[in-house]
Structure 1
Amino acid sequence: MPTRSRRAVIRAGGLSLRLHPRTGAIGLVLLLIALGVAFVNLTTGDSPVPVAEVLKSLAGKGTAGTDFIVYELRLPRVLVTLLVGVALGASGAVFQSLTRNPLGSPDFVGLTTGAASGALIVMLITGGGGLRVGAGAIIGCVITAVAVYLLAFRRGVQPFRLVLMGIGVSALLEAFNSYLIYRAQLNEAIAAQVWLIGSVNGRGWTEVVIVAVTVVVLVPLILYYGRHLKVLALGDEMAVLQGVPVERSRAILALAAVGLSAGATAAAGPIAFVALAAPPLAARLSRSPDAGILPAAVMGAALLSAGDWAAQNVLPSDNIPVGVVTAALGGLYLTWLLLHERRGARA
Structure 2
Amino acid sequence: MTQPSVPAGYTVVRVGYGSLLLHRRAIAVAAGLAVVLAVAAVVSLSVGESYVSPTEVVHVLLGQPSPDELVVGTLRLPRLVTGLLVGAAFGVSGALIQSVARNSLASPDVIGVTHGAGAATVTAMTFGLTSYSVLPYVSVVGGLGAAALVYVLAWRGGLHAARFVLVGIGVSIALGSLTRLFLTKGDYLVAQQAKVWLTGSLNGRGYDQAAPLALTVAVLVPALLWAAHAQRMVSLDDSTATALGVRLGPVQLGLTALGVVLASVATGAAGPVDFVALLAPQIAHRLTRTAQLPLLSSALTGATIVVVADLLARRLFSPVELPVGVLTAAIGAPYLMWLIARTRRGRQGT
Which of the five TM-score ranges fits, normalised by the shorter chain? over 0.9
Partner of 2:271: 269
Distance 1:298 1:223 in 2: 16
Aligned-pair identity in percent equals 38
My pick for the range that moved more, 79-88 or 227-236, is 227-236
Q: How many residue pairs end up in the alignment?
A: 344
The Cα offsets for residues 306-328 of structure 1, whole Å up to 9 and x where unpaired, read as 11121122112111111000000
Cα deviation, residue 42, structure 1:
0.7
Partner of 2:104: 102
Structure 1 residue corresponding to 2:133, chosen from 131, 134, 138: 131
Give the residue type in structure 2 aligned to 1:135: Y
- Write out aligned runs for 1:228-239 (5 A): 228-239=230-241
Partner of 2:13: 10
Partner of 2:95: 93
- Whether contact under 8 Å (2:314, 2:321) holds in the other structure is yes
Give the residue type in structure 2 aligned to 1:236: D
Cα deviation, residue 15, structure 1:
6.0
Distance 2:201 2:18 in 1: 39
- Whether contact under 8 Å (2:9, 2:23) holds in the other structure is yes
Partner of 2:55: 52
- Whether contact under 8 Å (1:228, 1:244) holds in the other structure is no
Cα deviation, residue 219, structure 1:
4.2
Cα deviation, residue 52, structure 1:
2.5
Distance 1:210 1:248 in 2: 27
Cα deviation, residue 301, structure 1:
1.0
Give the residue type in structure 1 aligned to 2:82: V
Distance 2:167 2:51 in 1: 47
Distance 2:31 2:152 in 1: 39
Distance 1:225 1:197 in 2: 30
Assess, with a 3 A threshold, how the Cα gap between structure 1 residues 98 and 193 changes in structure 2: closer, same or farther: same
Cα deviation, residue 244, structure 1:
3.9
Distance 2:62 2:34 in 1: 22
Distance 2:17 2:199 in 1: 45
- Whether contact under 8 Å (2:159, 2:249) holds in the other structure is no
Assess, with a 3 A threshold, how the Cα gap between structure 1 residues 214 and 263 changes in structure 2: closer, same or farther: same
Assess, with a 3 A threshold, how the Cα gap between structure 1 residues 15 and 89 changes in structure 2: closer, same or farther: farther
The Cα offsets for residues 122-151 of structure 1, whole Å up to 9 and x where unpaired, read as 211133311211111011001111111111
Distance 1:13 1:235 in 2: 34
Assess, with a 3 A threshold, how the Cα gap between structure 1 residues 205 and 315 changes in structure 2: closer, same or farther: same
Cα deviation, residue 110, structure 1:
0.1
Give the residue type in structure 2 aligned to 1:18: L
Partner of 1:29: 32
Unaligned runs of 5+ in 2: 1-5
TM-score between both structures, scaled by the size of structure 1: 0.93
TM-score between both structures, scaled by the size of structure 2: 0.92
Give the residue type in structure 2 aligned to 1:21: R
Partner of 1:61: 64
Partner of 2:193, secondary structure, is helix
Give the residue type in structure 2 aligned to 1:78: L
- Whether contact under 8 Å (2:231, 2:292) holds in the other structure is no
Partner of 1:76: 78
Assess, with a 3 A threshold, how the Cα gap between structure 1 residues 241 and 13 changes in structure 2: closer, same or farther: farther
Structure 2 residue corresponding to 1:322, chosen from 308, 321, 324: 324
- Write out aligned runs for 1:259-338 (5 A): 259-338=261-340
Give the residue type in structure 2 aligned to 1:49: V
Partner of 2:119, secondary structure, is helix
Give the residue type in structure 1 aligned to 2:208: T
Distance 1:173 1:140 in 2: 10
Distance 1:160 1:345 in 2: 14
The Cα RMSD (Å) is 2.0
- Whether contact under 8 Å (1:8, 1:19) holds in the other structure is yes
- Whether contact under 8 Å (2:120, 2:138) holds in the other structure is yes
- Whether contact under 8 Å (1:121, 1:136) holds in the other structure is no
My pick for the range that moved more, 189-198 or 53-62, is 53-62
- Whether contact under 8 Å (2:140, 2:264) holds in the other structure is yes
